[in-house]
Structure formats: structure tokens, C-alpha cells
A and B are shown apart, each in its own frame.
Chain A
Amino acid sequence: MIPTLSELRHCFEGAVPSVIATCAPDGTPNVAYLSQVHFVDAEHVALTFQFFNTTRKNILVNPRAVVQVVDPVSAAHYRLQLEYLRTETEGPLFESMKAKLAGIASHTGMSKVFRLQGSDVYRVLDIECVFGESSARDAPRQPLLHGLRACLAELVGCTDLATLFDSALQGLERHCGIRHAMLLVHDAARARLYTVASRGYPQSGVGSEIGIGEGIIGVAARERSPIRIGYAAQEYLYSRVVREGFEKSTAGDALETSIPFPGLADSGSQLAVPVSCGDRLHGVLYVESPQERRFTYEEEDALVVLAGQLSLSIELLAHTAEHHEETAVAAAPPCAVRGAAVAIKHFAADHSVFVDNDYLIKGVAGAIFWKLVRDHADAGRSEFSNRELRLDPTLKLPDITDNLEARLILLQRRLADRCTCIAIEKTGRGRFRLNVGRPLTLTDVPGR
């Protein structure tokens, strides 16, 4: 039986190199190996344009080509009759192939040689089975669809963002066997992404940041497209991205690199999927594995569905939080304050906050923290609501589309990571409590 193009995606992962035959107008054939065959949709594939070689020359004057791909399990051979349509030099398809090529180049020691100049898009005219049977249907695989279903079922019951994020990452581990994952939230005003949840790393890395367009996560965010790399690609690894970001940053931005990324030092496979709703980017879901070629098109599909559900849940929870804030419950007795005073220093210029000279947080989350500890010190307050933060003119919060809840999660988790005597405890929908265990000494350093 002739498979569909979708059923052949596992032959495009590069385990067995594919070959392309083209023909010059004078009838001279040419046959060459391909770095990758990229599945575009049910009727199109894209091939890499790296050099102006004979294949390239041929397809520009004679658009017909035939590609032979091999099933990496059964060794079945398939021929795809192709017609060249166009070359894309920017956008999601290009960036996705560029990242994948970087992984292949790194794997084969060709980093300096392979550079993507364009993505050549072809229409698939015909598929022919040369010999063998596809392994796609009967190979024993982890039942991903079942795992995804279980993941999604657990998201349904989540009534706040923190639980939603944690459930998603926990579900990936429990039901899909994906053990290293993180969620980053988009800070549109600063064109950056900050980590709010992670799983499978020695350090949570909450609060660590990456710029839009930087590394695999930043590129996925910029292009609103999933990016998947099957080998360690040096230029997309965190360590490299963060180091370069640090080198480029001015002294004022150095704090951005002061929270280390939780990512694996020697990641073998990476997959970053944007969490977006229409034009609005909420963040990026990122998974990785020390194993090479761990993620296939199947995992990519599953994570795109999961990210879609996450984004809808984020929208729904934000709407609910704004419109259905719970009324205040009776304040709990304040926890005992004892011990030596803790020095809290706030720099108004960037709202960076230091606790006993250790960096805690900055930006909007830093401004919120400063308001909370001030109100606690001045008025003895411990109970707060999201609404009052939203309405507080001193905080200058971005508009309603900004995810205040995500910033509170960030603050809550940074405190849990870095500070034993101050904690934020959720007390209801849109309400929380500031628990302070030691006396506070507040110092405000005015900005320019």
C-alpha cells in the first residue's frame, strides 16, 4: 500500500540520509545526498539550500526532482516525485530548518560548513514504494496520543496558573516520559521570556530570562513556530546563548544573567513550542533530553496540542481572575516575627530588589515585592488582592493583557528559592498573603 506523505515523516528524521536526483536541461542527471527532508504539510516538503551546487542550478531551470527516502526501522525505500515551487529565506519554516540544520552540522562536525541560505519548497506529485514495508504503523512506540489525553485531562481541573504550569510539566513526565521541561512566560514590554516553572533540573531556574530571537526558545517565540533539534547544536545551547547575551549586555542588564538557566549542559535533543493564542504570545513550552533524536514529529504534534490547550487555559484563568475575585477571608493571625532584621534594598531605577545583599528579583515583580513589604512595614498588612495591585498607580503595571498572575508566581517561586523568611501564600482566587518571619529593614535607593 502506498503511504501518505504524513505517514512517511519518520523517514525524514535523518537517521538514513535521503538522496535527490535532478536533471540539467541538456539531459545530464545529478544525484546528491540531502542534509534534511522537512515535512511541511500533507502535500509539500522542503529541502535545504546551502550551496549553489548542481542540484540548485538544475531545479532553477528544470523544477522536477526525485527524492529517495529510507524507513529507519524497516529499511523500506520510497521515491517522492517532486516539483520545485519556491525558496523561503525567512519566517517559521526557514528558522525551523535552520535550527535543525545547525544540529545536524554540529553532529557531523560541519558547523563551519553548513549554513542555510534558503528553504526550497517542493510539491509532492507522487509517492512510490520501491521495496519493503513501512514500520510506522506497527512499531512499538510509547502511546503518545494516550499520554497527551491524560495530560490534557489534568489541566482541566486547574483553577490557578501556578497549578496549571506545574500540572502540564508533571503530566509530560508522568504520561509522555518527557523528564526535562520548562515553561517561560512572555514579557512583551521587554521582549523577553522568563522562566516560571521547570521540572527535572537540580535548580529551578525560575526568573532566568532569554531574549526573543535568542537560542531555540527565543527563535520559537519570535517565529511563533515549533523548533526541534535532534542533536546538540552549539549555537542553540543555553550556555552559549546566555554567555553571548552576557557579553552583549551593558552593566545595567547584568542582573538578567544572574539567575542561571536550568537547562541541561549537554542537551542531545531540544524542542521549543510557542504557547500563543491568535497574535498573543503567552510564552514557550520547552522540553529537552540528553538522548539524541529523542523527539520526533509525533512529540512535536503532541506538544503543539498541549501548548494550544495551555494557552486557552491561561486566557480563561486570566479572565476569571479579573472578574471573579473572591472576597477577603478573615485574616489569619500574623506569623511570629523574630530573629535578626533582614535588609531589603530596592533600586527604583529598575525595581531590582536585594535581600541581605543577594539579588532577588527586578522589574514588575520587583516593584510588586517592594509595595508588599512597604505596606507590611508601614501598615502591618499581610493580606493582598490582585485587583489592588492592578489599580495601584505606583506600580505602573502594563495593561490588562499583561499576566499579573504569572509575575506573582515568579515572585513567589524566587522567594521560595532564595529567601527563607518571606513567603507568598495564595489564599483564594485573586488573593494572597505575605508571610514575614523576621523583622524587615527597608532601604529605597531612588532612581534617576
Chain B
Amino acid sequence: MTTETRLPILDETRAQFLSHHVSILVASCNAACMPSVVRAYGCRVAPDRRAITVFLSVAQSTAVLRDLGAGGAIAVVFSRPTTHETLQLKGARASIAPLADGDRELTLAYGCSFGEEVASVGFGEPFQRAIMSGTGEEAVAVTFTPAAAFEQTPGPSAGQPLAVKS
């Protein structure tokens, strides 16, 4: 058994940030470097913060799931509309699995939190419901190990790799 000695790329605060009130977009690409993108409906962070799982609607993610399934790399951006705080994580590959116990509840809780966020930037209830309509669809769990993280909040440090706090 090997022991991971490096610190996880995310600290506890950032791990918390990924799980609620943020817009989540997932990208991959195929062997010909054609990109694909889709919205995710929630995120689960492993207790050791070394594995990130995002939930995708199967119907909406044909291209992304095909690219990830073929071994394509993954990029996920998390952004909070009220603060513009934005973080992008990248991984060399991702695994696709059915939802685990508790994932559906995580998705629904995420949908509520993002709905609140959208409401606080001025969108009404029909829009909140519609933008999170994917939470009720057939979904899969996409898990990856973030190998790099980038600060993407608009500002002078946008695009900078995240400094790992010891």
C-alpha cells in the first residue's frame, strides 16, 4: 500500500467552496482536441480532498461523457455569481460511475443552494427551477484527482496556479 505524502491541492475552505452556491461547468476534449462542455449538478469532495466528484445529467453530457470515457482529460470551473470568486481544477483523466448512496440527496441540496444564489442576483423562481431542472434527470458521477488548480476570479491574479497551503 502506498501512502500519499503530498498535501492535497485544496484546503478545507476551498473544498467547502466547491460544494454549494457555485455554478459548475465541466469540459473535456476528444483525440482530435475538439473541446466539449456541460453544466454539472453538484459536487462531492472526498474526505482527504484528493478526489473530486461532479454529477452530470446523462442526457445533457453526450459529448463530455464520450470524451472522458475515451480517456480525455478534465477541466472543471466553479464560480459563485454573487462574488465572482472562481476556481478551475484540472485532472489527467476521470472515471464515470453510477451515483453512490447519498449522491442524489447531494444533488438536490446543491440545486437548492444554487437556486438561492441565482435568486440573489435577481432571477425569479421559474428561472431558478429551469436552470436546475437537470438535477432530476438520470445522472452519473464523474470522479477525478485534481492535478492543478487555478485562481480564476477576475483580477490581477486570474489564471495563476493555486498556491498549496501547508
Minimal beta-carbon separation of B114 from chain A (angstroms): 12
Known contacts A27-B33, A64-B35, A110 near B134 by CB under 8 Å: no
Q: Which residues on A sit within 8 Å (CB–CB) of B98?
A: none
- At the interface, yes or no: A21 with Cβ under 8 Å from chain B? yes
Q: Is the CB of A131 within 8 A of B75?
A: no
Q: Which residues on A sit within 8 Å (CB–CB) of B31?
A: 27
- At the interface, yes or no: B77 with Cβ under 8 Å from chain A? yes
Interface size class of chain A, counting residues whose CB lies under 8 Å from the partner chain: 35 or more
Q: Is the CB of A64 within 8 A of B88?
A: no
Q: Is the CB of A31 within 8 A of B88?
A: yes
Interface locus among B9-17, B43-51, B104-112, B153-161: B153-161
Q: Which residues on B sit within 8 Å (CB–CB) of A19?
A: 25, 37, 77
Interface string of B1-43 (1 = CB under 8 A from A): 0000000000000000000000101111101011111110000
Task: Identify A113's interface contact among B60, B77, B90, B156, CB under 8 A.
Answer: B156
Known contacts A29-B72, A29-B73, A66-B35, A21 near B27 by CB under 8 Å: yes
Q: Which residues on A sit within 8 Å (CB–CB) of B76?
A: 31
- At the interface, yes or no: B59 with Cβ under 8 Å from chain A? yes
Q: Is the CB of A31 within 8 A of B25?
A: yes
A79's nearest neighbour on chain B, judged by CB, is B37
Interface centre among B31, B33, B134, B156 (most CB of A within 10 A): B33
Interface string of A111-145 (1 = CB under 8 A from B): 00110000000000000001110000000000000
A74's nearest neighbour on chain B, judged by CB, is B130
Known contacts A23-B29, A32-B152, A33-B86, A75 near B130 by CB under 8 Å: yes
Known contacts A27-B72, A29-B74, A51-B158, A21 near B36 by CB under 8 Å: yes
Known contacts A19-B25, A19-B77, A108-B84, A73 near B127 by CB under 8 Å: yes
A65's nearest neighbour on chain B, judged by CB, is B35
Q: Is the CB of A23 within 8 A of B37?
A: no
- Give the complex CA separation of A20 and B31 in angstroms: 19
B61's nearest neighbour on chain A, judged by CB, is A130
Known contacts A28-B90, A29-B74, A74-B130, A22 near B154 by CB under 8 Å: no
B37's nearest neighbour on chain A, judged by CB, is A21
Interface string of A13-42 (1 = CB under 8 A from B): 000010111111101111111000000000
Q: Is the CB of B26 within 8 A of A31?
A: yes
- At the interface, yes or no: A441 with Cβ under 8 Å from chain B? no
Q: Which residues on B sit within 8 Å (CB–CB) of A51?
A: 158-159
Interface centre among A21, A77, A110, A114 (most CB of B within 10 A): A21
Known contacts A29-B27, A113-B154, A113-B155, A131 near B36 by CB under 8 Å: no
> Which 3 residue pairs across A and B have the least CB separation, nearest first?
A75-B130, A21-B27, A31-B27
